[in-house]
Chains A and B, each alone.
Chain A
């Protein structure tokens, strides 16, 4: 793909790229750094991008890879890094998700889900990727996509007032 053809496509996608980045980093400033680095990498490697349809998944995958590398560097530097999603207990219950404050709290909680839960949620429910495609983008087994989806949905159901059996609690 020609670089000058690629640039407007990237700029057009920035809102969606930032949204995905925030599911990885949970912090806006880190997300913006990540998006920028991924865009510059795409421009460097524009020749490798054969088809426009592949751009979204290529960008998501690139951001994921850059972020994993960055996490590893931070682990070496500070001794803190990835937190296993299995260690996450639950989301705080939101009184009213229709209320602006409640919605913001829930959004922050969802974006803050560690190690891939919110990325999987975004790619499947909002970006519309299949489990197979999501597994390829995030370089994880398809079974992990399935378990993360159900885990994320269970946590969200609980946060908006459903107990584990589908009843309002």
Chain B
């Protein structure tokens, strides 16, 4: 590996929050740092846009039909097949001969249609699947994952708060790390999430019972400020608002009084 390649590898890991604090400080002092970081960030932003565009393509009906019909007993057949055998046979029958793509798609569509209608011919109009859940639902999903982590709950620990402000602030257009101790929450650290192709700074706090709360921030350039609204996601409650060109959410276990206090301390204005 050349010196430039080694530098790129370190810088790339820095950008992903994967460098130890000492190594991160070292690379920040390198004369190549600012220019190369900017080039990588420009590339990342472009990649995020291009990959987000990939989600807009309509999903073939044949896949949806295959999922919906999988493991269903065909009408009129009493004996239950061993789990999955029908599906695997269907898939292999569909994919075995590698015909030209349009023929293959036509065949799979007809097959799915035949299965779906019990061998009757039906026409299903092209269907566009909802591309992705909203960013807050994705934040809630992330929250459930990381709330169960003990050793790796955050990428960058609270002790490195300056790096958190600089690194994540750069990603989301400025970042303050509010002191939520009046609500009984202690700052534990942060990580970078991605929702719908956009960066999300997740600031993680814990209460005295080691329950996880998080303030998540994502850029919304030009968006108007809003007052706080509360949304429920099963076991989690999210208080959301917009301010200063950013969308914010304070999320934590439902029915915890700390949550609304933490949102207020983070800048949310009551409705």
Contacts and interface: CB of A to CB of B under 8 A. Distances in A.
In this complex, the member of B32, B34, B50, B148 whose beta carbon has the largest number of chain A beta carbons within 10 angstroms is: B50
B133 A12 contact: yes
A141 interface: no
B4 interface: yes
A166 B130 contact: no
Given A15-B131, A106-B46, A130-B155, A150 B105 contact: no
A165 B51 contact: no
B29 interface: no
B18 A165 contact: no
B35 A153 contact: no
Interface in A1-40: 3, 7, 10-12, 14-16, 18-19, 22, 28-29, 32-33, 35-37, 39-40
B87 interface: yes
Given A7-B67, A11-B129, A150-B5, A162 B42 contact: yes
A121 B129 contact: no
B62 interface: yes
B16 to A, nearest CB: 6
B211 interface: no
B26 interface: no
In this complex, the member of A41, A107, A154 whose beta carbon has the largest number of chain B beta carbons within 10 angstroms is: A154
Nearest to B72: A3
Contacts of B44: 125, 153
B54 A32 contact: no
Contacts of B152: 130, 132
A69 interface: no
Nearest to B55: A15
Contacts of A11: 64, 67-68, 129
Interface residues of A, number: 55
Interface residues of B, number: 71
Interface in A102-139: 103, 106-107, 110, 121-122, 124-128, 130-132
A20 to B, nearest CB: 10
B67 A43 contact: yes
In this complex, the member of A12, A126, A146 whose beta carbon has the largest number of chain B beta carbons within 10 angstroms is: A126
Interface string B105-131: 100000000000000000000000111
B36 A106 contact: no
Given A33-B95, A150-B5, A103 B50 contact: yes
Nearest to A128: B194
Contacts of B226: none
Given A43-B70, A44-B83, A125-B194, A150 B11 contact: yes
B53 interface: yes
B32 A165 contact: yes
B87 A146 contact: no
Nearest to A47: B83
Given A11-B129, A43-B87, A125-B47, A53 B144 contact: yes
Given A15-B129, A40-B70, A40-B84, A150 B13 contact: yes
A150 B63 contact: no
B248 to A, nearest CB: 18
A126 B47 contact: yes
A97 interface: yes
Contact of A131 (B13, B34, B36, B195): B13
Contacts of A107: 50, 53-54
Interface in B65-83: 66-68, 70-71, 83
Contacts of A160: 42-43, 46
11 contacts: A33-B91, A36-B62, A36-B63, A36-B91, A44-B71, A125-B44, A127-B194, A130-B155, A132-B152, A166-B32, A166-B37
Q: Lowest 5 CB-CB distances: which A-B pairs, in order?
A: A166-B35, A44-B84, A150-B12, A166-B36, A128-B194
